[in-house]
Structure 1
Amino acid sequence: MMRPRGLRGAVAAAGLLAVLVTAGVAVPNAASTASAASTSVDATSEQCTPGKRILAPGVSYLVERLGLQSAWALSRGAGVTVAVVDSGVEAGNVHLSGAMVPGRTTFGNGSAPPEDDLFGHGTAIAGLIAARQVKGSGVVGIAPEAKIMPVRAFESAPEDGQSSRDLTPPSADSVSAGIRWAAEHGAQVINVSLSDDQSAEKYRSAVAYAHSRGSLVIASAGNRKTANSDRPDPQHFYPGELPGALAVAGVLRDGNWDSDSSFAGGHVDIAAPGQAVPSAYISGGDCIFNGDSASSSYATAVVSGAAALVASRFPKESPDQWAFRLTQSAMRVSPAQRSDTVGWGEVRPAEALALVDDGMLPGPPSAAHPAPTPTPDADRTISLEPVADPLDPARAIIGWSFGAAATISAIVLLLARGRSRRTRV
């Protein structure tokens, strides 16, 4: 069902650093991220400071924006494992207690614990997908009963004097190996909040393998704000553009697409909020991420959470059917049309869970009902002979009747005149 699509992002001069840059990976700080938080979060609280656990009270705007209360009445993601191929996931975060399954590290010699995340990106992704709600915090995952499988694909700790842009980037080998390992170990959904314009065949092979194992890969559609302005826009973005994957664009908190934040193109499948998203942080508590733009990294996590809800409710359906549910039910202006900015629209989990696919819905093609094959009209023989009117016999009878009546009337009239003349004589 999922056709090849180009996942738009940016490629840094360092080559595979594009995987980080395109995804919008950046070390959060209190000043930039808290400014776009809801009024229930103290913007001066340093809630994004590593080592200082802060819980953000109030309800996440995502709950209302995405209609999650209605979705949770149908599914909460139980029985589904979502792999997070990223910088690791901080197992000590309060929201992820009891949510983790064993993971894997795919860079170096594999000895770095996947349950450690010294950078914070993977933990934020995991929290958006499956954070358990705790007292005093409004952070909650889209699928709060799903499991998280940490797959650490890159070293995530900047050394003294380094910025996040100086990190050793993940390689195509480590990311594709992470996708394969996750699929092999039972992850139904594989979140890849990054992209790369190189090594197409490595990613293609990994995504195809995941698809064959019943896993749906959901990847970032790229961020313009974190692109390398010294290079032209890339033409290919892996793994999101590949068959078997969904490419996710980020929209602003109000649902609007922002050209300063995102790339547009035929690669985009679906969109989700990616601005000012509250999630888990490596402090062990909460953080509000990406206050000034719509990050496709976090939008990807939102869609992965929605996919977990769908996979939980429909475990016998295929990854293509899960993807169809998400795209078909997404909120858009015209049901039959996608756009280059938000694909088939903004994800709506409750609608995806309630969707009835009869093969006749306008929009993306059904994965369960093949499109009907057009058949040519049967040959017709055209006759030039006049077609008999079935009412002709009746008309003939009526005509004879009128004619007979007129004749009798004329005879009677003539006889009457003849008698009148004889009487006068």
Structure 2
Amino acid sequence: MKKANSLVLGLCLLAAFSCTKDQDEASDLLTENVEVNLQDSDAFLTIEEINALINQSFYEKQSFSWSEVPANVLWSATVHGGNVLTIGYGEKGESFRTEKNDRLDATRLGLVDLVQSSEQIAKKDFRVKEDEVLNVVDLEVTKLETIRELLASDGVRYLEPNGYSYYDITTPQGAKPAPTQTRSAGCDTSGSTLNSADYRSIWPGALVPWTFDRHNIASAWGRSRGAGITIGIIDTGLSPNQPLLGNSFGDGASINGRTVEKYGTYIDSAWWWSNNLDGPNDRCGHGTSMAGVAAGPRNNDGLPSGVAYDANLVMYRGTSDVVLNDYHERKGVSNALRALADRSDVDIISMSIGYPWSIGNVRDAVRYAYSRGKLIFAAGGTSTSATNWYPVIFPASMPEAIAVTGVTDWSGGYRECDICHDGNEIEFTIVMERDSNDDRTTPVIGFNQGQRDYVGGSSVATATMAGVAAMVWSKYPNWSRQQVLNRLRQSSELYSNTSSKYGYGNIDAYQAVQ
């Protein structure tokens, strides 16, 4: 089972993270009474000491990387994380291979032999996982000397304690914990009663969310509805209790015969070497909401429509929730990216998930998917006001990903939603929250049949942008990824004068499909 972690979905940091706060407040987040020491030694660090080092890095540099810590910190985190160490091998930037490479094979075998010899483990008892495409290998490491030998070896791109899942997004000392934001960005399957001002009815009985009209999405449906385009979503899966994302995917005015597929790459196990996949079904609710926003049918059931309601959908359950703080979630997302990258029918990948800092095997997989021509959207970050000094989250922080965040419906210009992050990596914004009431966000189909719900944060903003991109690509099916992206940029409010916090700003879907 996934380790308990106070990085709770209430903080929902990750469905999607990042804002800024005065540094004096951020400094309060450093763990009290823990001496921070970045000098290499033989000392084994406690979880509290490791977290203090991480917090200090965020406070001083707005970032953290395992590549910047000494060997004993890597060793301590590896042991705390179930003894699993991920090695990225090859030359700098050599994230993946597309054909057999004897040099890379030799490098991998040499590193595996080094670890086995240093750990003094018999071959039959040695646990190792290799990847056929990504230049990544996971091994069991228990000794500090093994870490030091690896750091001194050629062909090592990075070492990461990929099982370390104890980092805690802490509230400032003395501050009251912020209220949970489960409806905004985390797990929620309960449904909501929608305010009648938050939607309007449209033939043949579907609802148009109020946020869609802020981006002229319904007006754009006269020109494109996403037909012929396949959106891949990596999230918490699809609910088996929501037929509009199953057998009734072609309901109402949507194309009868468009396809929805769901797969699972997540493993729910305490053992990192387990191969027991947990299936494609959503147990959280987040993935169901994202799929509904991006491509839910324009139904005749009195429920909210999706943006690209004629597009095809492929959902991968790569994670149990929105926070990639577990080895199996990171591996599950990496494997899902690989699978979507290899599908020629998938044009767009949407990820309303992430983590405060870069994860090597996920980063390598994003680069692989990008190399295969995929247009990748990722959530810029959703947390609470107590943690909004963190930067734009990973993988939205990558240049290969298009970072999206949410803004409020405010007449005075641009203002991030109460729990959304902004920053210079953000490219697009979506209005997804009432200025007067942060509980009234985007209406979506719910987890269960006939159910309605609200969903917000940069999560829903990302899924919305993925749907708009599908409409553009459907309108111009022969365009390249760059041409589609250029049209999205040109159709956004701040195109001629981009913002350092909001990028190109709010998209106009009708203009994008002209």
Decide whether the 8 Å contact of 2:377 with 2:403 is kept in 1.
yes
Q: Take 1:141 and 1:315, find their aligned partners in 2: how far apart are those partners?
A: 20
**CA deviation vs aligned residue, 1:31-74 (integer Å, no higher than 9, x gap):** xx547663679xxxxxxxxxxxxxx9753213422212331122
**CA deviation vs aligned residue, 1:89-116 (integer Å, no higher than 9, x gap):** 12542432235433321122363331x2
Decide whether the 8 Å contact of 2:428 with 2:503 is kept in 1.
yes
Q: Alignment partner of 2:260: what SS?
A: coil
| 1:245 is the counterpart of 2:401 | yes
Query: What is the Cα deviation at residue 341 of structure 1?
Result: 3.2
Q: Greater strand percent: which structure?
A: 2
Q: Take 2:468 and 2:422, find their aligned partners in 1: how far apart are those partners?
A: 22
| 1:112 is the counterpart of 2:272 | no
**CA deviation vs aligned residue, 1:285-334 (integer Å, no higher than 9, x gap):** 332324xxx500011110010011112122222222222221221123xx
* Residues 286 and 278 of structure 1, relative CA distance in 2, 3 Å threshold: farther
Q: Take 2:498 and 2:196, find their aligned partners in 1: how far apart are those partners?
A: 31
Query: What is the Cα deviation at residue 143 of structure 1?
Result: 0.3
Query: What is the Cα deviation at residue 278 of structure 1?
Result: 1.3
Decide whether the 8 Å contact of 2:233 with 2:350 is kept in 1.
yes
Residue in structure 2 matched with residue 304 of structure 1 by the alignment: 466
| 1:143 is the counterpart of 2:304 | no
**CA deviation vs aligned residue, 1:97-153 (integer Å, no higher than 9, x gap):** 235433321122363331x21211101100001111222414111100011111001
Query: What is the Cα deviation at residue 78 of structure 1?
Result: 0.8
Residue in structure 2 matched with residue 404 of structure 1 by the alignment: none
Q: Alignment partner of 1:310: what SS?
A: helix
Decide whether the 8 Å contact of 1:249 with 1:341 is kept in 2.
no
* Residues 130 and 269 of structure 1, relative CA distance in 2, 3 Å threshold: same
| 1:152 is the counterpart of 2:317 | yes
Q: Take 2:297 and 2:232, find their aligned partners in 1: how far apart are those partners?
A: 16
Query: What is the Cα deviation at residue 84 of structure 1?
Result: 1.3
Query: What is the Cα deviation at residue 24 of structure 1?
Result: 2.5
Residue in structure 2 matched with residue 357 of structure 1 by the alignment: none
Deviating more after overlay: 276-285 vs 103-112: 103-112
Q: Take 2:241 and 2:370, find their aligned partners in 1: how far apart are those partners?
A: 31
* Residues 242 and 64 of structure 1, relative CA distance in 2, 3 Å threshold: same
Q: Take 1:320 and 1:267, find their aligned partners in 2: how far apart are those partners?
A: 17
Query: What is the Cα deviation at residue 76 of structure 1?
Result: 0.8
In the TM superposition, 1:28-47 aligns within 5 A as: 29=190, 34=193, 38=197
Q: Alignment partner of 1:278: what SS?
A: strand
* Residues 165 and 337 of structure 1, relative CA distance in 2, 3 Å threshold: closer
Q: Alignment partner of 2:510: what SS?
A: helix
**CA deviation vs aligned residue, 1:352-383 (integer Å, no higher than 9, x gap):** 122xxxxxxxxxxxxxxxxxxxxxxxxxxxxx
* Residues 137 and 170 of structure 1, relative CA distance in 2, 3 Å threshold: farther
Residue in structure 1 matched with residue 228 of structure 2 by the alignment: 79
Residue in structure 1 matched with residue 188 of structure 2 by the alignment: 27
Residue in structure 2 matched with residue 134 of structure 1 by the alignment: 299
Residue in structure 1 matched with residue 377 of structure 2 by the alignment: 218
Residue in structure 1 matched with residue 255 of structure 2 by the alignment: none
Q: Alignment partner of 1:129: what SS?
A: helix
Q: Alignment partner of 1:38: what SS?
A: helix
Decide whether the 8 Å contact of 2:392 with 2:422 is kept in 1.
no
Q: Alignment partner of 1:252: what SS?
A: strand
Query: What is the Cα deviation at residue 235 of structure 1?
Result: 4.0
Say what the alpha-carbon RMSD is for the aligned residues. 3.3
Query: What is the Cα deviation at residue 25 of structure 1?
Result: 1.4
Decide whether the 8 Å contact of 1:60 with 1:138 is kept in 2.
no
* Residues 318 and 254 of structure 1, relative CA distance in 2, 3 Å threshold: same
Residue-pair matches, total? 313
| 1:352 is the counterpart of 2:512 | yes
Q: Take 2:336 and 2:324, find their aligned partners in 1: how far apart are those partners?
A: 22
Decide whether the 8 Å contact of 2:230 with 2:311 is kept in 1.
yes
Q: Take 1:170 and 1:277, find their aligned partners in 2: how far apart are those partners?
A: 30
TM-score by length of 2: 0.54
Residue in structure 2 matched with residue 66 of structure 1 by the alignment: 215
Identity %: 26
Residue in structure 2 matched with residue 93 of structure 1 by the alignment: 242
Q: 2:337 aligns with which of 179, 182, 187?
A: 179
Aligned AA for 1:176?
S
- The unaligned stretches of length 5 or more in structure 2 are 1-15, 20-28, 30-50, 52-164, 170-180, 250-257, 268-274, 434-440
Aligned AA for 1:87?
T
| 1:268 is the counterpart of 2:421 | no
Residue in structure 2 matched with residue 9 of structure 1 by the alignment: 18
Query: What is the Cα deviation at residue 239 of structure 1?
Result: 1.4
- The unaligned stretches of length 5 or more in structure 1 are 1-6, 42-55, 157-163, 355-425
Decide whether the 8 Å contact of 1:252 with 1:274 is kept in 2.
yes
Q: Take 2:408 and 2:448, find their aligned partners in 1: how far apart are those partners?
A: 26
